[in-house]
Amino acid sequence: MARIPGPPPLDGLKRRIEQSRRSRSAQEKGHFIRETFRLERTAARQKAREWFDTWPKAAYWTEVESWRPLEGDCIEFTMRRLPSAD
């Protein structure tokens, strides 16, 4: 009588998937690239324009994710975009 084998061991596959997820999440932190700035108001506007000129909103979903005014007419803000337009 032939013995029916059970499911193959998946330890190696599980280990590779976990390694891939760890390395990807460390690089991407989600699917967006984020950068936080703390600049004087005029410089903050210029930096935001620079991001929108470099990575257009339609292709990269570029946006000012959050912002808050600080003392001394400074703004702290976070820009986000997709890593590529593909």
* Domain that residue 67 falls in: 32-86
Q: What is d(CA 59, CA 71) in angstroms, rounded to the nearest whole number? A: 34
In a domain, 70, yes or no: yes
Q: Is the pTM here over 0.85, yes or no?
A: no
Look at the chain and report how many structural domains it folds into: 1
* pLDDT score at 2: 67
Instruction: Report which of 82, 80, 76, 41 is spatially closest to residue 60, judged by C-alpha positions.
Output: 82
In a domain, 10, yes or no: no
pLDDT band of 25, cuts 50, 70, 90? low
pLDDT band of 54, cuts 50, 70, 90? very high
* pLDDT score at 30: 63
Q: What is the largest CA-CA distance in the chain?
A: 84
